[in-house]
Amino acid sequence: MAKTRAWRKWSVLPGFGLSMGYTLFYLSLIVLIPLAGTFLKTATLTWAQFWAAVASPRALASYRLTFGASLVAAAVNGVFGLIVAWVLVRYKFPGRRLVDALVDLPFALPTAVAGIALTMIYSPKGWLGQYLEPLGIKVAFTPLGITLALIFIGLPFVVRTVQPVLEDLEPEVEQVAASLGANRWQTFWRVIVPTLLPALLTGFALSFARAVGEYGSVIFIAGNMPMKTEITPLLIIIKLEQYDYAGATALAVAMLVVSFAMLLVINLLQRWGTRRHVS
Amino acid sequence: MTTPAHRTPESDPILGDGRSSPVASPPNGEGNPNRTSRHVTRRIAERATTEPRLVRWALIAVALGFLGAFVVLPMAAVFATALQKGISTYIDNIKDPMVLSAMKLTLIAAGIAVPLNLIFGLAASWAIAKFEFYGKQVLITFIDLPFSVSPVVSGLIYVLIFGLQGWFGPWLNEHDIKIIFAVPGIVLATIFVTFPFVARELIPLMQAQGAEEEEAALTLGASGWQTFRRVTLPNVKWGLLYGVILCNARAMGEFGAVSVVSGHIRGLTNTMTLHIEILYNEYHSVAAFAVASLLALLALVTLAIKSAVEWRVKQQLRSARQTVIEREAT
């Protein structure tokens, strides 16, 4: 035990220095230094410049749209994701394994492909758009279309976080609830939902976080009209194309702060979930 | 004692197999009062622990309808539009030289990003899973960071470093090195967005497996490198494959980050996804969907391999946990 160092336990295995060194080197080079550079870049702006970029009416309108649509999409995914997870875990029906595999398609399908496909389906002459148009429902090129695209890309998160918890749920707990006189709805509401809650909220938060930053699947269906259907990531690209690097950086830093806050929330939710799970 | 909560597969076709009893249900013997009453008890218990049949069918219908509208329909739309003008137009659209050069660039970007992130994943998981040190959780969070950053911002951070207005921009310009609006920028952005994939598959798997097998190999005289190659790698191979497949799918499909750093120079800095955007915006939608169908096929192949590998990963994880339980029992 002569080699014991204060910050790590001694081990007989070799290669800690090499693997740890390389990990830190690569992580710094690809992730940490570029991210820190972005934050440093905002330091070259004055506070007034930063504020003008972050709180311009056009930026505020884009936040309202981005966060509003993401929130609605995450909520829809929360409800339907729970139903999909429930059906996949509890019921048996033909093609269940295929359906289970299909849930991950939004992870695997490139966002640009999803974007043009959804636009084609919901444009006024599209497969579904042509039936919705006479009803006065416009989907493509409206906030509704943006929400649909965000539902698509956030779909797997809730299913994949709820599913394992639901699988591990002991049937005995429900039997006890039933034998104590609870009906099915009471058992679901008072026994199952509280157990699933951490996973459900984690899935909701993951879906929301993903939706806020999403770009590829949204820009085709959005229509991209300033103040109306312009999401924040697109506004960053527009600023870049106008060579307004300061404005783009300010918006990017605002989005990074939101991302990190969401990451913190998700970590706390997951910790809550595992603590529950263990106890 | 009866097991009232268990419904047998025979009595109900749609109940999940995880909850069905392995014991076959007794035949409903009408002349036997004992059996009939048991049957009634079971029926009452079933009502309390699963949903009425109508609710079950309704929930399945809702779930399938939701997935149909959001997953199956877009996939069908991609292939239907791509083949709208016949198979020969489809082939012509794909054999277009601009499409071929976009394909080449996509393959180059993924071909560099995936191996680099694979090496990183192995190094990071070895350091994190096989050793105990302070700050481990912080390190894991840092590795996951790229997942929570918007793709557009992922591209922008490299523009701010290597772009003309960036930290190294003037110096790079003087030495005539192009990173942004050139292939290196695309590769960098691809590496960033796919950074955590392999590491985050391997870390939990190797953590569950512990370091005992490696320690045994070392005691028996294997070198560190032999131990890694002959003990660790075979133990994690399915998790490794799983991570690589997901990493590759994302690398080939990335759009936002690549879009920021590319500069959209046709035939030079256009990846497949960027080329889809150009074709689509120029109203060549059949051609756009033809290129998109290739990426959609890649997604389907990815899903197929993923499902095939998934249960093996779970098995490896389960056997690792089993070993831990047995070890603690003795």
- Per-residue pLDDT, B8: 43
- Whether the pLDDT of residue A2 is over 80: the answer is no
User: In angstroms, what separates the C-alpha of A104 from chain B's closest C-alpha?
Assistant: 7
For range B165-173, the mean pLDDT: 87
Residues of B in contact with A262 (CB under 8 A): 148
Q: What is the pLDDT of residues A15-28, one digit of tens each?
A: 899 999 999 999 99
Q: Kindly determine whether residue B299 and residue A109, on different chains, have CB atoms separated by under 8 Å.
A: yes
Residues of B in contact with A87 (CB under 8 A): 59-60, 63
- Whether the pLDDT of residue B2 is over 50: the answer is no
User: What is the pTM assigned to this prediction?
Assistant: 0.88
Residues of A in contact with B276 (CB under 8 A): 112-113, 116
Q: Kindly determine whether residue B145 and residue A31, on different chains, have CB atoms separated by under 8 Å.
A: yes
Q: Kindly determine whether residue B156 and residue A7, on different chains, have CB atoms separated by under 8 Å.
A: no
> A242 in contact with B at a CB cutoff of 8 Å?
no
Q: Kindly determine whether residue B78 and residue A117, on different chains, have CB atoms separated by under 8 Å.
A: yes
Q: Tokens 């081990």 identify what position?
A: A11
> A125 in contact with B at a CB cutoff of 8 Å?
no
Residue A16, phi then psi, degrees to nearest 5? -65, -45
Q: Kindly determine whether residue B224 and residue A38, on different chains, have CB atoms separated by under 8 Å.
A: no
- Per-residue pLDDT, B7: 42
- Per-residue pLDDT, A173: 85
Assign B10 a pLDDT band (cuts: 50, 70, 90): very low
- Whether the pLDDT of residue B11 is over 50: the answer is no
User: In angstroms, what separates the C-alpha of B71 from chain A's closest C-alpha?
Assistant: 7
Residues of B in contact with A167 (CB under 8 A): 18
Q: Kindly determine whether residue B123 and residue A23, on different chains, have CB atoms separated by under 8 Å.
A: yes
Q: What value does the mean pLDDT of chain B take?
A: 86
Nearest to A120 among B19, B81, B146 (CB): B81
Q: What is the pLDDT of residues A182-240, one digit of tens each?
A: 888 888 888 899 999 999 999 999 999 999 999 999 999 998 889 999 999 999 999 99
Assign B197 a pLDDT band (cuts: 50, 70, 90): very high
- Per-residue pLDDT, B1: 37
Q: What is the pLDDT of residues A34-62, one digit of tens each?
A: 999 999 988 888 898 899 999 999 999 99
Q: What is the pLDDT of residues B202-221, one digit of tens each?
A: 999 999 888 989 999 999 99
- Number of residue pairs across A and B with CB atoms under 8 Å? 320
Going by the DSSP 8-state scheme, the letter that residue A5 receives in this structure is: B
The two three-digit tokens of residue A271, written as one number: 């910790």
Residues 174-203 of A with CB under 8 A from B: 174-175, 178-179, 182-184, 187
The Cα angle at residue A118 between residues A114 and A124, in degrees rounded to 5:
160
Q: What number is the ipTM of this complex?
A: 0.91
Question: HEC states along B47-93?
Answer: HHHCCCHHHHHHHHHHHHHHHHHHHHHHHHHHHHHHCCCCHHHHHHH
Going by the DSSP 8-state scheme, the letter that residue B133 receives in this structure is: B
As a whole number of angstroms, the distance between CA A147 and CA A122 comes to 12
For range B173-184, the mean pLDDT: 90
For range B138-161, the mean pLDDT: 93
- Whether the pLDDT of residue B32 is over 60: the answer is no
Q: Kindly determine whether residue A213 and residue B259, on different chains, have CB atoms separated by under 8 Å.
A: no
Contact of B324 with B210, CB cutoff 8 Å: yes
Q: What is the pLDDT of residues A127-186, one digit of tens each?
A: 999 999 899 899 989 999 999 999 999 999 999 999 999 998 888 888 888 888 888 888
- Whether the pLDDT of residue A10 is over 70: the answer is yes
Nearest to A102 among B67, B146, B252 (CB): B67
Residues of A in contact with B218 (CB under 8 A): 12-14
- Per-residue pLDDT, B259: 94
Assign B26 a pLDDT band (cuts: 50, 70, 90): very low
Q: What is the pLDDT of residues A171-190, one digit of tens each?
A: 888 888 888 888 888 888 88
- Per-residue pLDDT, B294: 96
Q: Kindly determine whether residue A92 and residue B15, on different chains, have CB atoms separated by under 8 Å.
A: yes
User: In angstroms, what separates the C-alpha of A133 from chain B's closest C-alpha?
Assistant: 17
The two three-digit tokens of residue A162, written as one number: 């709820």
- Whether the pLDDT of residue B22 is over 60: the answer is no
For range B121-137, the mean pLDDT: 94
User: In angstroms, what separates the C-alpha of B237 from chain A's closest C-alpha?
Assistant: 18
Tell me the residue type at B191: I
Q: What is the pLDDT of residues B36-77, one digit of tens each?
A: 677 777 666 666 667 888 999 999 999 999 999 999 999 999
CA atoms within 13 A on the CB side of A197: 10
Task: Indicate the range of A63-77, B37-51, B272-286 predicted with least confidence.
Answer: B37-51
Residue B15, phi then psi, degrees to nearest 5? -80, 145
Q: Kindly determine whether residue B16 and residue A110, on different chains, have CB atoms separated by under 8 Å.
A: no
> A230 in contact with B at a CB cutoff of 8 Å?
no
Residue with more model confidence, B48 or B4:
B48
Residues of B in contact with A216 (CB under 8 A): 151, 255-256, 273
Task: Indicate the range of A63-67, B292-296, B323-327 predicted with least confidence.
Answer: B323-327
For range B151-166, the mean pLDDT: 92
Contact of A247 with A53, CB cutoff 8 Å: yes
User: In angstroms, what separates the C-alpha of A176 from chain B's closest C-alpha?
Assistant: 9
What is the Cα B124 distance to its own chain's centre?
19
- Per residue in A43-70, is it b (16+ CB within 10 Å) or e — as a string? eebeeeebeebbeeeebebbbebbbebb
User: In angstroms, what separates the C-alpha of A87 from chain B's closest C-alpha?
Assistant: 6
As a whole number of angstroms, the distance between CA B277 and CA A119 comes to 12
User: In angstroms, what separates the C-alpha of A18 from chain B's closest C-alpha?
Assistant: 8
User: In angstroms, what separates the C-alpha of B105 from chain A's closest C-alpha?
Assistant: 16
Q: Which ranges in chain B belong to alpha helices (H)? A: 33-49, 53-67, 73-82, 87-95, 97-130, 136-148, 151-162, 169-174, 183-194, 197-209, 212-219, 224-227, 233-253, 256-262, 272-281, 285-329
Q: Kindly determine whether residue B148 and residue A112, on different chains, have CB atoms separated by under 8 Å.
A: no
- Per-residue pLDDT, B33: 53
Residues 80-109 of A with CB under 8 A from B: 80, 83-84, 86-93, 97, 99-109
- Per-residue pLDDT, B326: 79
- Whether the pLDDT of residue A88 is over 60: the answer is yes
